[in-house]
Chains A and B, each alone.
Chain A
């Protein structure tokens, strides 16, 4: 049942990111919405449950994007591993630290993308506008990232509770 929730969430985020957001100038330089989702998995869910989800979603994203195949997949896996590492050192599940975790995740994703472009595309150069895009994305992540994490966590809890009540034996 958890995977159905993940699929639903993924589809919603994907549609919002690729179809709805381009119509709004405000979201012109918004970050990848799947990044907070992967961070959520890293923070609150088990590795065994998260890895297949990340592989499937990363693969789909790779197929929708013009980047090299596997770029999203590896980025998400690195992001997940990074979050798992961080939670062994810091207590980041507290709401205070969440904005910084998402911002760091978005920054890491952009660094991986820029690194890939630099490595695989000869003569590639980054303009000031590119760095400004990264900065704006990080700022967006600082402001809105925790909202996504809290929302994902809340939805998951409600989802689990709903199915627990539905499948638990009737009392009395």
Chain B
């Protein structure tokens, strides 16, 4: 009788041989059976899903890093853009300052009086009074009563002085008074401030011809402001049936809200 162990060995050899023969047959024919299609139809969707998920995750990972790097670059560009914009603004501001200072310099050349340039550094704390603080004072030659002007016209006069700063009473302040005349007709009067930011051309005789749009200039008779400096233009005229004066409203040429640099007239006007 054949031992059991021998039977197992022979069985294994037969299986190996049959496997080799089968492999040899299938490798030559490239046969495709129906079961292959079924398996493919079953497995492929999963494979596809998993593959896509992996690709998506990989893409996401790559995109994340890409986004981070783009974001970093974007920050860098934004920073550079902000800096450029800031520089552009500074240049624009410098350009405007240059224009202002040039105009002030040109005006300074036309003035026969000795003048000193100063910067407005503060405004009156009250809404009811109109003064500014400038950065030049006694040590720079500024004294109480001196006229303060800009190329557009008269600003006001110095009402208080310290060593390096002065307080200037604007012509729109109710306490201010400037001897003036209408340039066209030479009608004389006094420019007084009113709290609304306009001026009144007071004490102009009714018989004098003053019309809307007329330029009003300083007369130089008050001993403070040089003659011929622009004050403003006539905005309204009321001639009442009674009284010897007419009511004339004047809009100043100077924009007092935007005062930055001014000129202090150091020498008094010549009569």
Where the two chains meet, the residues of A that have a C-beta atom closer than 8 Å to any C-beta of B are: 14, 17-19, 22, 29, 32, 34, 61, 63-67, 72, 113-114, 117, 121, 123-127, 129-130, 133, 137
Contact = CB atoms under 8 A, between A and B. Distances in A.
Given A117-B174, A121-B174, A124-B174, A66 B196 contact: no
Contact of A19 (B122, B167, B170, B175): B122
14 contacts: A17-B125, A19-B123, A29-B127, A32-B125, A63-B160, A63-B167, A66-B130, A66-B167, A66-B169, A67-B128, A72-B125, A117-B174, A121-B174, A127-B196
Contact of B122 (A18, A29, A125): A18
Contact of A66 (B122, B131, B192): B131
Nearest to B131: A66
B195 A18 contact: no
B195 A130 contact: yes
A90 B127 CA distance: 31
B124 A18 contact: yes
B125 A125 contact: no
Contacts of A123: 192, 202
A114 B126 contact: no
A22 B194 contact: no
Contacts of A29: 127
Contact of A113 (B126, B131, B160, B194): B126
Contacts of A66: 124, 126, 129-131, 159, 167, 169-170, 173, 175
Contacts of A14: 125
A114 B128 contact: yes
Contacts, number: 69
B231 interface: no
B243 to A, nearest CB: 13
- Nearest first, the 5 A-B pairs at minimum CB distance are A66-B129, A66-B131, A18-B122, A67-B129, A113-B128
Interface of B: 121-131, 133, 159-160, 167, 169-170, 173-175, 192, 194-196, 202, 257
Contacts of B195: 117, 124, 126-127, 130
A120 to B, nearest CB: 9
Nearest to A28: B257
A65 B173 CA distance: 11
Contacts of A129: 196
Contacts of A61: 125
Contacts of A133: 127
A83 to B, nearest CB: 20
A64 B196 contact: no
Contacts of A126: 195
Contacts of B169: 66
Given A18-B125, A66-B130, 20 more contacts: A14-B125, A18-B122, A18-B123, A18-B124, A61-B125, A64-B124, A65-B131, A66-B124, A66-B129, A66-B131, A66-B159, A67-B126, A113-B128, A114-B128, A117-B174, A123-B192, A125-B194, A126-B195, A127-B194, A127-B196
A109 to B, nearest CB: 9
Nearest to B200: A123
Nearest to A124: B174
A64 B127 contact: no
